A and B are shown apart, each in its own frame.
Chain A
Amino acid sequence: MVFSSIVFLYIFLPIMLLAYFIVPSKFKNAIMILASLIFFAWGEIRYIFIMLLLAVMDFWCGKKITQYENSKNKKIIFLFIDVGVNLLILFFFKYADFIISNINSVTGFSIPLLHIPLPIGVSFNTFQSLSYIIDVYRGTVKCEKSFYNYLTYTTLFPQIIAGPIVRYETVDEELETKNISLINFSNGMKRFIIGLGKKVLIANQVGVLWNNIETVNYGELSLLLSWIGIISFALQIYFDFSGYSDMAIGLAQIFGMKFDENFNYPYISKSITEFWRRWHITLSSWFRDYIYIPLGGNRKGLLNQIRNILIVWFLTGAWHRSILEFYIMGSVLWSNFNYRKIIFAESVRKITSHCKSYLFYNINFS
């Protein structure tokens, strides 16, 4: 199910809200879980069972890690199990066919493709599970004691489709006690309506324009039309994505929970670096906190830093299967350089800007 549909707006949401607000506090999570499962099952019945099994595993591993708090050797086993299984499932759905087709083209075999459509939400679900288990392992959050609460966290329907990526630490207290109030309800509603308008009244409309221009044959595409086209695409992708985030954040607020912001007016940026800090914020900060910094970030010398940047580039690119994010992500990490700590700050800056333009040139004209 998607937010911008009549079924969601006029049937699902009203019934859910009614149920949510009349039941006593301790049953509110039950309503959330039930609603999430229905929302999810609407299009993706297959993945539900995997999602539930993963939730059981995350929860169990979290408890085990806490139990072996003082034994690094033991607790790391459970971290590996949980991270490994989560990643394996994501990889299977995302890359099985990609890998098979590559094997075929290299070896000349013709292994049949699996044609498994990517279940909606599998990526976001993985990000959430990993943030939970890694934080428990590091000791920055306490493990969840109630499976009922953990299941609420992992199924949480507002974010399941398109984020924002909600970390366990962001909502752990609200899983227990919701912050329900009239002001949150009304602000949440407003936020949701803004998001709906962004998606339906702007993104969908300029989307039609882009669909028309995209198919114009090269040679008939005038300069003016090409600019109208790409501007309409830029508007479509921004209003679609940020509209969905607004709707998710608004819904969460209605239910008495606070999600992190995902967009901050990206098109007013004065550099590409700034753009990526304002675009899909929860993803870039996830990569920063769970990959880049644990690898040593910029603290272990320039060579290590470059290695870390390349790893994050690769992962981000692989996740999106696109060059754009790969490129932008790289720039933002370069920007995280603490210039003053590096002796030859100026020369480093020159090298980075050179690399950036070189990379960009390569992508555009290869």
Chain B
Amino acid sequence: MLEKLPRIVSHIYSIILILVSWVIFAFEDLSKVGEYIKAMFINNLIYDKQSIYYLQNYIFIIIIGILCSVPLWKKIKEKMNEKNSKTFEILSSLGYMAIFILSTASLVTDSFNPFLYFRF
């Protein structure tokens, strides 16, 4: 436990630093950066209707995003490859197809498909 604790602490600490760094990156205007960071740490308004609304609508995709940022899928794949499971082969192939179809559908219907690299 003693060994584990600092690792978790340093992980949380890094995540917070990274998120604060993203604030700096996200806004070009330094005064907005300051305001935003202040809102994250010193804020009387803890939550309101608007935040609950966004949380309810987006919590699913945020959780998916977080799960996909850790090597969860990679580990499952390695485990299954060891077992040489045919069912897994078939299921994962279906999964890839589903991702492709969903992506196509999303590209056809959503207009939001930004191009972030013009700055580089």
The distance from the CB of B73 to the nearest CB of chain A, in whole angstroms, is 9
> Which residue of the partner chain A has the closest CB to B43?
A223
* Contact A272/B36 with A194-B99, A201-B106, A239-B68 known, Cβ cut-off 8 Å: no
Closest to B114 in A: A207
Interface membership of chain A positions 279-323, coded 1 if the CB is closer than 8 angstroms to chain B and 0 otherwise: 000000000000000000000000000000000000000011111
Q: How far is the CA of A321 from the CA of B50 in the complex (A)?
A: 33
Q: A206-B62, A222-B50 are in contact. Are A196 and B70 (CB under 8 A)?
A: no
CB distance from A7 to the nearest CB of B (A): 10
Asked, given contacts A123-B120, A201-B102, A237-B116, whether A225 binds B65 with beta carbons under 8 Å apart, the answer is no
Selected from B33, B55, B108, B118, the residue in CB contact (under 8 A) with A228 is B55
Q: Are A324 and B21 in contact (CB under 8 A)?
A: yes
Query: What total of chain A residues lie within 8 Å of the partner, measured CB to CB?
Result: 79
Closest Cβ–Cβ distance, residue A238 to chain B (whole Å): 7
B58, A232: Cβ atoms closer than 8 Å? yes
Known interface pairs A6-B107, A222-B47, A226-B40; A190-B70 also in contact (CB < 8 Å): no
CA separation between A121 and B58, bound complex, in Å? 33
| Chain B: CB-nearest residue to A9 | B104
CB distance from A17 to the nearest CB of B (A): 15
Contact (A224, B55) CB under 8 Å given A230-B40, A268-B71, A366-B30: yes
In the bound complex, CA of A226 to CA of B23 (Å): 10
Q: Is A197 an interface residue (CB 8 A)?
A: yes
Give complex CA distance A120, B120 in Å: 8
Across the A-B interface, the 9 shortest Cβ-Cβ residue pairs: A225-B51, A224-B47, A197-B99, A235-B65, A223-B43, A324-B25, A224-B51, A226-B39, A218-B35
> Which residue of chain B is the closest to A244 with respect to CB atoms?
B117
Binary interface encoding of chain B residues 46-89 relative to chain A, with 1 for a CB under 8 A from any of its CBs, else 0: 11101110110010011011101111000000000000000000
14 cross-chain CB contacts under 8 A: A5-B107, A193-B96, A200-B113, A206-B58, A220-B48, A222-B51, A223-B47, A227-B19, A228-B54, A231-B19, A237-B22, A268-B69, A271-B14, A360-B17
Given known A4-B113, A204-B112, A208-B112, contact A239–B65 (CB-CB < 8 A): yes
Do residues B50 and A225 form an inter-chain contact, with CB atoms below 8 A?
yes
Closest A residue to B19 using CB positions = A230
Which positions 200-219 of chain A face chain B at CB distance < 8 Å?
200-202, 204-214, 216, 218
* Given A120-B117, A270-B10, A200 contacting B107 (CB threshold 8 A): yes
Assembled-state Cα–Cα distance A227/B96 (Å) = 32
Interface string of B11-47 (1 = CB under 8 A from A): 1001101111111111000101111110110010111
Docked CA distance A190–B93 (Å): 9
Contact present for B70 and A225 (CB under 8 Å): no
Question: How far does the alpha carbon of A292 sit from the alpha carbon of B30 in the complex, in Å?
Answer: 30
Q: Number of contacts between A and B (CB, 8 Å)?
A: 200
Specify the main secondary structure of chain B where it touches its partner: helix
List residues of chain A with CB within 8 A of the CB of B114. 204, 207
Chain A residue at smallest Cβ distance from B60: A205
Residue of B nearest to A234 (CB): B22
A110 part of interface (Cβ distance < 8 Å): no
Name the A residues within 8 Å of B39 (CB-CB). 218, 221-223, 226
Q: Are B40 and A235 within 8 A (Cβ)?
A: no
Q: Please indicate the chain B residues that have their CB under 8 angstroms from the CB of A209 in the complex.
A: 54, 58, 61
Contact status B119-A118, CB under 8 Å: yes
A327 interface residue (CB < 8 Å to B): yes
Is B3 located at the chain interface by the 8 A CB criterion?
no
**Is A269 engaged at the interface, CB distance under 8 Å to the other chain?**
yes
Q: Which residue of B lies closest to A212 (CB)?
A: B54
Alpha-carbon gap, A228 to B40, bound state (A): 10
CB distance from B23 to the nearest CB of A (A): 6
The reply to whether B71 and A190 form a contact with Cβ atoms under 8 Å apart is no
- Chain A nearest CB from B86 CB (Å) reads 16
Chain A residue at minimum C-beta to C-beta distance from B117: A162
Question: Which of A208, A222, A241 lies in contact with B45, CB distance below 8 A?
Answer: A222
- CA A222 to CA B42, docked complex, whole Å: 10
